[in-house]
Chains A and B, each alone.
Chain A
């Protein structure tokens, strides 16, 4: 690991000022992604500012829903009564990720900003436009089994690995950030992460020095019917091949509202808006779920080694919606 300056920010303004002033500086959350990448020499910040002691770790009711702190841990968030009762989809998604130890360390802000697990990105001897712009994308014509089927560009075919963010996408969350000189702004979740386009080195639209202070979860009526399904190579402690966050509200058996977001298929959580539109006002039946999934995946552009993800995603969407219909009870989705 390369040398870096370390400091412990006493208050958010100091942390933001320090990181804004130095382009090589980074906030340090739980460190579960950043420290790993620093050991691999994929990232080499010249300065780290520990933000885990800042007062942005609360979870509280607001006029429009619930706000979760940017520095609250993933474990604390997933287990909080307000989240488990009102946003079980978020609890399930967080609990599907990593391990108990990592979730105890990981912060909500850090989770959103975790980087791809593309093996070319991780190996500093191989070309990667995300790590080193202009060096080429090793995965495009290389081993791309774990890569994107939606939204990729010739510059980068990586997928974004967070489970938590897939649920936040389905829940229409809003990210609150604070920059230098008290400059606060909000970012709709759909606009937070980016597709790779010509600048795959940019994962999201956060500016240097901007701190995620909290994430708002708008009130919804999905608590009774939501499900997070994660398909992976082993039954736990592995990243998703494909994951689905599904939420429904019904009028009788007619679909009043539906949200579907996919993980493991694109450079950002992928809202299945084609499937959502298809389902609006329809009966909540398995055959309709299947047809909606079919419609969504028509637009998929698989790579050489990941055609299986198209089939997998169709089945996963159907199963996740069924899981939601079963009240979000684990293992009942069929």
Chain B
């Protein structure tokens, strides 16, 4: 009851998640007050979303922030031993040859930031970076990842500093339910290096003109992000976020709180 007064606009699940997430900072937040938007920032930082706190429960939410030991496999058929780096640390796993990288990340390494949308390569929710390039972890067999370097949404922030793309997604409200967001952000991060390398897309004016670093129009951004589907239709805001990180100009934030602050 007392807590409810402290955070009047949070739901029970959100309040509980917050308390477990940031026990040390509680007093500061209590004194300075907390807006729902700030809570969302915290949750985005941990690589999940508001929805995930409802669906996954607090235990799984927390598992991401602790160094939880991988669960032991039960009944591995055609086992393959693989060692690969995930977000900077080497992981050694015995996997069933059928296991996808997505399932290995989520079920064995408790990195549930990467989402399973379709499991068939059609939505992009499972996008992660492998050796710096964006790929679909739902169609990547874990057994093929020996010696690879995998980066997931959980590995983008530098300590407590968000990756610029994460910060831009928050600034521009590049999501609603947040389910596609980890994939969108990983995809957008890779897109930045592809543009820097001068890579082309289907809507590139003239593919014969090669060279370093291409400046992306909105049409280019949309085409290059087309492998990431958003059921909530946050596309215009996603394009704004990417344009801000890609360009050298700040892009105006279009939303504000009811009291006029941003």
Contacts and interface: CB of A to CB of B under 8 A. Distances in A.
Contact of A52 (B98, B144, B201, B224): B144
Interface in A184-228: 223
A30 B133 CA distance: 13
Interface in B87-130: 96-98, 100, 119-121, 124, 127
B202 A100 contact: no
Interface stretch (B12-20, B58-66, B205-213): B205-213
Interface stretch (B23-31, B40-48, B134-142, B152-160): B134-142
B200 A102 contact: no
Contacts of A256: none
Interface string A39-82: 11000000010101000000000000000000000010011010
Overall SS of chain A's interface = mixed
Interface stretch (A4-12, A278-286, A313-321): A4-12
B187 interface: yes
B120 A329 contact: no
Contact of B139 (A3, A8, A31, A75): A31
Given A6-B97, A75-B199, A236-B223, A102 B121 contact: yes
A48 B133 contact: no
B97 A5 contact: yes
B194 A100 contact: yes
B262 to A, nearest CB: 32
Contacts of A39: 119-120
B78 A4 contact: yes
* Interface residue tally on B, bucketed by range: 35 or more
Nearest to B206: A329
Given A79-B200, A100-B191, A101-B134, A35 B139 contact: yes
A28 B97 contact: no
Contact of A101 (B135, B197, B198, B210): B135
A95 interface: yes
B216 to A, nearest CB: 13
Given A4-B98, A236-B226, A105 B207 contact: no
B141 A35 contact: yes
Given A75-B199, A330-B203, A330-B204, A101 B223 contact: no
A88 interface: yes
A79 B77 contact: no
B139 A6 contact: no
A252 interface: no
B191 to A, nearest CB: 7
Interface residues of A, number: 45
Contact of A331 (B139, B203, B228): B203
B200 A5 contact: no
Contacts of B191: 100
A301 interface: no
Nearest to B202: A95
Interface string A116-159: 00000000000000000000000000000000000000000000
Given A79-B197, A99-B228, A101-B136, 4 more contacts: A39-B120, A48-B97, A88-B206, A99-B226
Interface of A: 1, 3-6, 8, 28, 30-32, 35-36, 39-40, 48, 50, 52, 75, 78-79, 81, 84-85, 88, 91-92, 95-96, 98-102, 104-105, 223, 230, 235-237, 327-331
25 contacts: A3-B77, A3-B96, A6-B143, A28-B141, A48-B97, A50-B144, A52-B144, A79-B199, A84-B200, A91-B200, A95-B202, A100-B134, A100-B187, A100-B191, A101-B136, A101-B187, A102-B139, A102-B227, A104-B134, A105-B136, A105-B139, A105-B140, A223-B208, A235-B223, A237-B227
